[in-house]
């Protein structure tokens, strides 16, 4: 969703803060081990993302200060000091080349296999905007995604509530996995008689009353903090602080913590300018990807080629699944070098659209070729 993970500048600033207060965050950096390691290149994690995020989880006993440090690091005011892809001497580009530049190689790798497309929404199909309710996708992008869905099974995988992301995308022919994959629904059927075969999967449904309760409490508790916005994503909640004065971030972090302390079955993680609250169940975008592949009949297939495009830290779960399966690959949308399990990169939604268009063109070309050959045989 609009949360885009711990971006590079977040990581750099956060690590600076950690180094200042290492005694307070002993789980983050193993002092003895890290002292022996050469320093990580600028902008790269020298600690595991998992450990770092665990430190931000309220139930792991993290201090509010750690949240605020991370929130501060996500401030747009830090963007200017963030090294871009062009600034890192090309090493990130070498390890995560542009999917547009590598297009021919990608097509070669997918030959003879069924491509299945997985697309994040915010920051991937639509630009990140100040008001998350106005993160509209362009008409051109919608047209492109519609064409993609005609060529390949296509799913939107988002942190947003499924209904909300559907209202942005407005394409009935897609699969939708909302709430970080906790709310999955297949394409709408043309015939009502097929309704019993419709796909619907909600692994966290038992949490719905709790999520609603916490949503109401968070709205009430944070209303005194100007600019804070609590979003109910049905199976998870988002507290956006992109419009909150930096001086008020500590206050907001305290408010959120005060609500969550009574709900040990919910966990909190940090995204891009957002605090995310979700059930502690082991379900994420990666699990949703596996579930959808299985539902589509590709569970044990070797001739499937899943492609997942996303910009969010939560998309990393899906990138990792693809890497572990050795099938298809992930594409990270980012203008900055990041620690990622994706194989390729694209810098912004416009590049995503170009990549998708080329995939469609390639598919149409191969179908035309096939038809021509079949016509020749008939003659």
Q: Cα dihedral sign for 341, 313, 205, 135?
A: negative
Q: How far is the CB of 3 from Mg ion (least distance, A)?
A: 7
In the window 22-41, what residues touch Mg ion (CB under 5 A)? Answer: none
Q: How far is the CB of 343 from Mg ion (least distance, A)?
A: 18
When asked if residue 349 is in the footprint of Mg ion (CB under 5 A), the reply is no
At 161 the three-state DSSP class reads coil
Q: How far is the CB of 235 from Mg ion (least distance, A)?
A: 17
Q: What are phi and psi of 84, to 5 degrees?
A: -85, 175
Asked if 120 contacts 311 with a C-beta cutoff of 8 angstroms, the reply is: yes
> Which region among 65-73, 115-123, 218-226, 231-239 touches Mg ion (by CB under 5 A)?
115-123
CB nearer to Mg ion: give 271 or 337. 271
| 205-214 CB contacts, 8 Å cutoff, 24+ apart | 205/235, 207/235, 207/265, 207/266, 207/279, 207/281, 208/234, 208/235, 210/263, 210/265, 210/266, 210/279, 211/235, 211/236, 211/237, 211/266, 211/279, 214/259, 214/260, 214/263, 214/266, 214/277
Q: How far is the CB of 95 from Mg ion (least distance, A)?
A: 21
At 106 the three-state DSSP class reads helix
When asked if residue 122 is in the footprint of Mg ion (CB under 5 A), the reply is yes
Q: Which of 5, 123, 186, 328 binds Mg ion (CB under 5 A)?
A: 123
CB nearer to Mg ion: give 15 or 184. 184
| Closest residue by Cα to residue 352 from 120, 109, 92 | 120
Cα atoms in the Cβ-side hemisphere of radius 13 Å centred on 261: 10
d(CA 85, CA 103): 19
Q: Please count the residues of this chain forming the interface with Mg ion, following the rule CB under 5 A.
A: 5
Transcribe 114-128 into DSSP letters.
Answer: EEEEEE--BTTTB--
Site string for Mg ion, 59-98 (x = CB under 5 A): ----------------------------------------
When asked if residue 284 is in the footprint of Mg ion (CB under 5 A), the reply is no
Q: Which of 17, 69, 88, 120 binds Mg ion (CB under 5 A)?
A: 120
Q: How far is the CB of 231 from Mg ion (least distance, A)?
A: 14
CB nearer to Mg ion: give 284 or 311. 311
Q: Which of 312, 316, 317, 339 binds Mg ion (CB under 5 A)?
A: 312
Q: Which helix (H) or strand (E) holds 306?
A: strand 304-310
> Which region among 81-89, 190-198, 233-241, 306-314 touches Mg ion (by CB under 5 A)?
306-314
Residue where the block lists tokens 């069924």: 114
Q: Which of 284, 311, 317, 339 binds Mg ion (CB under 5 A)?
A: 311
> Which region among 85-93, 162-170, 311-319, 354-362 touches Mg ion (by CB under 5 A)?
311-319
Point out which residues bind Mg ion (CB under 5 A).
Answer: 120, 122-123, 311-312
């Amino acid at each position: 969703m609009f949360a885009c993970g711990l971006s590079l500048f977040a990581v750099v600033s956060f690590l600076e803060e950690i180094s200042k207060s290492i005694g307070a965050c002993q789980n983050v950096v193993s002092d003895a081990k890290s002292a022996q390691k050469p320093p990580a290149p600028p902008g790269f994690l020298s600690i595991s993302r998992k450990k770092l995020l665990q430190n931000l989880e309220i139930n792991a006993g993290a201090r509010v200060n750690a949240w605020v440090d991370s929130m501060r690091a996500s401030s747009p005011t830090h963007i200017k000091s963030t090294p871009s892809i062009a600034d890192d001497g090309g090493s990130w580009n070498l390890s995560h080349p542009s999917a547009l530049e590598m297009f021919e190689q990608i097509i070669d790798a997918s030959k003879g296999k069924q491509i299945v497309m997985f697309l994040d929404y915010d920051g991937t199909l639509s630009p990140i905007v100040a008001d998350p309710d106005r993160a509209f996708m362009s008409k051109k992008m919608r047209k492109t995604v519609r064409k993609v869905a005609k060529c390949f099974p296509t799913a939107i995988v988002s942190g947003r509530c499924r209904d909300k992301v559907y209202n942005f995308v407005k394409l009935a022919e897609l699969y939708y996995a909302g709430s970080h994959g906790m709310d999955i629904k297949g394409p709408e059927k043309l015939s009502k008689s097929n309704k019993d075969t419709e796909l619907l999967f909600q692994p966290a449904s038992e949490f719905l009353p709790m999520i609603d309760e916490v949503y109401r409490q968070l709205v009430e508790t944070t209303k005194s903090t100007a600019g804070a916005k609590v979003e109910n994503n049905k199976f998870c909640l988002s507290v956006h602080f992109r419009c909150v004065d930096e001086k008020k971030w500590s206050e907001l972090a305290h408010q959120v913590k005060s609500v969550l302390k009574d709900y040990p079955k919910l966990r909190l993680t940090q995204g891009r300018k957002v605090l995310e609250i979700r059930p502690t169940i082991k379900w994420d975008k990666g699990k949703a990807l596996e579930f959808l592949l299985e539902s589509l009949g590709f569970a044990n297939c070797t001739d499937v080629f899943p492609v997942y495009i996303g910009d969010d830290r939560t998309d990393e779960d899906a990138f990792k699944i693809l890497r572990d399966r050795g099938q298809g690959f992930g594409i990270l949308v980012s203008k900055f070098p990041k620690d990622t399990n994706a194989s390729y990169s694209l810098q912004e939604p416009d590049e995503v659209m170009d990549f998708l268009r080329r995939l469609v063109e390639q598919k149409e070309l191969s179908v035309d070729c096939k038809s021509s050959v079949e016509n020749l045989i008939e003659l």
